[in-house]
């Protein structure tokens, strides 16, 4: 009797399955997708119902041949990629390549890679879900059409190498619109007055001026604040009213993809991409010493808060034993999923709740441990009793004025014993907490009685200014995308990373800001492709993809409905789109070389001032545009180095291939040199030094200043710091995906890192 073949995407998942299945099964990894649309052409036949042309991905033929060979010897073939649209498409493409063996090909779905999960999957094999495949096909074809048709227009009108994405461009629009709101915001001054008070019992406390003559207080300037303070001095401060009420704070549901990405961003400072990479590792299996590889969490791409009855029962028993009966609600907590949620999936949870974070800590990398702890704690808290708070509000009269002091005391910690949700300034959820009164401080007010006269210690006026909307953090943008129905669990991380990789959005102090390039491209796309960039339209397309997955809509019809108006917009944009690349905007800035009035042009690195006398005068300058519209020239700072030709000061300039040093007298003297890193070239006998360089594709690397005599090059930035372990002359900087930076020794025989 032959063995059964199981096909998964990754070697890690294959290794974990091998542990449980042993010699009865052969397990092969496809290494992700094996087929896709071709790289160098559209690959979609617009005249034949958008028929996609799939080709074997370069480098995947070897894995596909191994799968075919194993399939020929197997009695049964189980396709086991991830249980989502992408996984279904992988399974379908592999099944196509196994043509003629349909009778022995089955699809199995793992929600968790545990002995229990694997057994359950093998006991209930199904056929490939063509509705789910068609939903993935529709998304892939739509994205290819948008990217392949709009990008060449951007190359012609703005800059070669640019690209557009159906969903990513909408995300850029949201970031740009938020930036416009920030720039348009007019800040207004206001003042608060705080009274520092003392009652008969400690501690001292503070109360804020709340009303005057029954009206909400509005103090617009310091003079008015001082007038109020003058009127308040000498007034008796008397406790007028004390309100105490009990408030329940309920636990939050277990993680879904979006909430995991948001919370990992807030608490762990992980990018969404890093979060999903770490979660994939925890799902597929982590080596646990003698126990071998173990899948620690359920599938991490889900929008359902559902938890299996078995997991729920196990969790309730765990809470009873670990925390006590008072922490266990009489009935399980039930959470509603979004209307579009795939309820066949579960929420993200530990595969075994008794495997607490400290138990596995010794087997996990730091980032893996932190993410597992977050998932485990949230899951445990989701089925615990509410926290009970005693909310206290004290109104204090001072003549016609009312001051208010508020605070809360935790009477029963409930679920907060296991987990507290993170908060982020500027997040809409934070504003909602303020509305609900959930942001009161854990403040013990003194024991007060109505009618009690308080001692006024100090009146403190404080100036404030209204604040513009906050820029999106990655977590906030994911929330915005989710609330507007843009993207799905499997796409959030890709959206966030893609808009940054394409240089349309940059991260400044943890917040997302559109680049000048992003602002220009967004403006052009919004003007000429309003349907593609429309938030509601994009959300409707997501709903249609869901309908295709449910078998309620034909995928070809959905693409056709999209393409009809899109095709007309394409033809119009090719003719009417603003030609940013060639336009010249006149300014009043006078060229200091030939006295012509300079113009604003668009280059590879954004806008710059150029002399209209080019090529006779090649003078250029960087500038900033003030809010008033005034153009201010940014002078190049001198570097302290001098030109080797004419001894004039060298200045830093930015060109097509990055930063370089140039003679300040250009174009009179055209001397240039690369930016030195202060590190001598490590090649034996070479007297050069390492400098910044940039490849033809714009990627920075570091090479020898003596090139082509010396061809030393490195992708890692050399740091002028000797290795403390082997004494090497420099270290290299390695940046990891999540943003972490490691200094390492480039000597292969030395393993120093910090």
Catalytic amino acids? 299
For residue 396, give the nearest of 450, 476, 434, 439 by alpha carbon.
450
As a whole number of angstroms, the distance between CA 563 and CA 566 comes to 5
- Any residues with CB less than 8 A from the CB of 202 and at least 6 apart, and which? 446
Q: Phi and psi at residue 371, in whole multiples of 5°?
A: -70, -40
Positive or negative torsion for Cα 38, 42, 45, 50: positive
Annotate 104-123 with three-state secondary structure. HEEECCCCCCCHHHHHHHHH
Burial 609-633 (b: 16+ CB within 10 A, else e): bbbeeeeebebbbebeeeeeeebee
33 C-beta neighbours (distance < 10 Å), count: 18
Please state whether 678 falls in left (phi above 0), alpha (psi between -120 and 50) or beta.
Answer: left
Q: Which residues contact 396 (CB under 8 A, 6 or more apart)?
A: 195, 197, 207, 237, 238, 239, 240, 402, 403, 404, 405, 454
Task: Tell me the C-alpha distance between 67 and 28, whole Å.
Answer: 6
Scan for tokens 């001032």, then name that residue.
609
Q: Residue 696 has which token pair?
A: 């033809």
Residue (of 140, 151, 196, 148) closest to 555 by Cα position? 140
Cα(169)–Cα(526) distance, integer angstroms: 9
Nearest CA to 482 out of 526, 539, 437 is that of 539
The b-or-e profile of 644-671 (16+ CB within 10 A means b, else e) is: eeeebebbebeeeebebbbbbebeeeeb
- Helix then strand count (H, E) for the chain reads 18, 35
**Bridging pattern class, strands 25-29 and 741-744:** unpaired
Helix (H, G, I), strand (E, B) or coil at 465: strand
Alpha helices in 285-328, H assignment, sequence order: 309-322
User: C-alpha distances in angstroms, 234 versus 167, 258, 390, 437?
Assistant: 63, 55, 33, 32
Q: Which of 28, 131, 123, 137 is closest to 81 using CA atoms?
A: 28
The residue whose two tokens read 């490590």 is: 682
- Give 435's contacts (C-beta < 8 A, 6+ positions apart): none
How far, in Å, CA of 444 to CA of 210, rounded? 20
DSSP string, 534-568: -HHHHHHHHHHHHHHHTTSS-HHHHHHHHHHHHHH
CA nearest 340: which of 610, 155, 116, 545? 545
As beta bridge partners, residue 242 has 394
CA 416-417-421 angle, 5° bins: 35
What is the SS3 string spanning 605-666?
CEEEEECCCCCCCCCEEEEEECCCCCEEEECCCEEEEECCCCCCEEEEEEECCEEEEEECCC
Strand pairing of 676-680 and 511-514?
unpaired
Query: Is the separation of the CB atoms in 385 and 417 below 8 Å?
Result: no
Bridge pairing between strands 293-294 and 286-287: antiparallel
Q: What is the phi-psi region of residue 22: left when phi exceeds 0, alpha when psi lies from -120 to 50, beta otherwise? A: left
């Amino acid at each position: 009797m032959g063995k059964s073949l199981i096909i998964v995407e990754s070697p890690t998942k294959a290794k974990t399955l091998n542990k449980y299945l042993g010699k009865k099964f052969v397990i092969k990894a496809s290494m992700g997708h094996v087929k896709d649309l071709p790289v160098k052409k559209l690959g979609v036949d617009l005249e034949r119902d958008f028929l996609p042309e799939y080709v074997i991905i370069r480098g995947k033929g070897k894995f596909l041949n191994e799968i075919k060979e194993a399939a020929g010897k197997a009695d049964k073939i189980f396709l086991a990629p991830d249980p989502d649209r992408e996984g279904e498409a992988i399974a379908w493409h592999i099944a196509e390549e196994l043509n003629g063996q349909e009778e022995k090909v089955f699809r199995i779905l793992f929600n968790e890679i545990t002995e229990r999960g694997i057994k359950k999957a093998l006991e209930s094999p199904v056929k490939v879900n063509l509705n789910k495949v068609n939903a993935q096909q529709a998304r892939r074809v739509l994205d290819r059409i948008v990217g392949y048709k709009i990008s060449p227009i951007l190359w012609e009108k703005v800059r070669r190498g640019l690209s557009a994405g159906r969903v990513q461009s909408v995300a850029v629009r949201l970031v740009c619109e938020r930036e416009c709101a920030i720039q348009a915001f007019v800040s207004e001054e206001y003042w608060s007055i705080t009274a520092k008070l003392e009652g008969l019992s400690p501690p001292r406390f503070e109360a804020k001026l709340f009303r005057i003559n029954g009206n909400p207080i509005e103090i617009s300037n310091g003079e008015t604040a001082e007038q109020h303070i003058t009127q308040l001095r000498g007034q008796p401060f008397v406790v007028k009213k004390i309100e105490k009420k009990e408030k329940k704070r309920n636990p939050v549901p277990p993680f879904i993809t979006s909430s995991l990405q948001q919370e990992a961003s807030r608490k762990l400072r992980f990018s969404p991409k890093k979060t999903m990479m770490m979660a994939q590792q925890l799902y597929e299996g982590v080596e646990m010493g003698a126990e071998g590889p173990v899948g620690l969490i359920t599938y991490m791409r889900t929008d359902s808060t559902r938890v299996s009855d078995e997991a729920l029962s196990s969790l309730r028993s765990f809470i009873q034993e670990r925390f006590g009966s008072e922490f266990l609600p009489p009935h399980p907590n039930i959470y509603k999923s979004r209307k579009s949620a795939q309820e066949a999936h579960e929420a993200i949870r530990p595969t075994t709740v008794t495997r607490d974070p400290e138990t596995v800590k010794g087997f996990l990398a730091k980032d893996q441990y932190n993410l597992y702890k977050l998932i485990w704690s949230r899951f445990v808290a989701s089925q615990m009793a509410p926290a009970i708070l005693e909310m206290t509000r004290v109104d204090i009269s001072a003549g016609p004025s009312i001051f208010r002091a508020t605070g809360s005391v935790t009477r029963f910690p409930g679920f907060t014993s296991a987990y507290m949700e993170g908060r982020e300034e500027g997040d809409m959820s934070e504003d909602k907490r303020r509305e609900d009164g959930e942001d009161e401080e854990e403040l013990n007010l003194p024991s007060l009685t109505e009618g009690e006269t308080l001692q006024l210690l100090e009146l403190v006026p404080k100036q404030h200014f209204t604040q513009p909307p906050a820029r999106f953090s990655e977590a906030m943008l994911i929330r915005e995308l989710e609330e507007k129905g843009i993207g799905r669990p499997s796409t959030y991380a890709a959206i966030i990373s893609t808009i940054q990789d394409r240089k349309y959005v940059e991260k400044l102090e943890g917040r997302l800001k559109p680049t000048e390039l992003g602002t220009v491209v967004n403006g052009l796309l919004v003007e000429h492709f309003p349907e593609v960039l429309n938030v509601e339209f994009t959300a409707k397309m997501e709903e249609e993809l869901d309908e295709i997955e449910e078998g309620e809509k034909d995928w070809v019809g959905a693409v056709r409905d999209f393409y009809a108006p899109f095709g007309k917009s394409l033809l119009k944009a090719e003719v009417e789109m603003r030609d940013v690349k060639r336009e010249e905007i006149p300014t009043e800035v006078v060229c200091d070389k030939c006295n012509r009035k300079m113009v604003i042009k668009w280059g590879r690195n954004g806008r710059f001032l150029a002399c209209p006398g080019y090529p006779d005068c090649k003078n250029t300058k960087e500038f900033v545009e003030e809010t008033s519209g005034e153009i201010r020239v940014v002078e190049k700072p001198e570097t302290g180095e001098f030109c080797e030709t004419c001894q004039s000061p060298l200045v830093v300039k930015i060109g097509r291939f990055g930063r370089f040093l140039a003679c300040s007298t250009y174009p009179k003297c055209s001397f240039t040199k690369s930016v030195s890193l202060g590190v001598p070239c490590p090649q034996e006998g070479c007297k050069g030094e390492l400098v910044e360089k940039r490849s033809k594709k714009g990627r920075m690397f570091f090479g020898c200043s003596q090139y082509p005599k010396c061809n030393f090059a490195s992708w890692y930035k050399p740091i002028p710091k000797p290795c403390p372990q082997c004494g090497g002359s420099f270290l290299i900087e390695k940046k990891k995906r999540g943003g972490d930076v490691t200094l390492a020794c480039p000597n292969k025989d030395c393993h120093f890192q910090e």
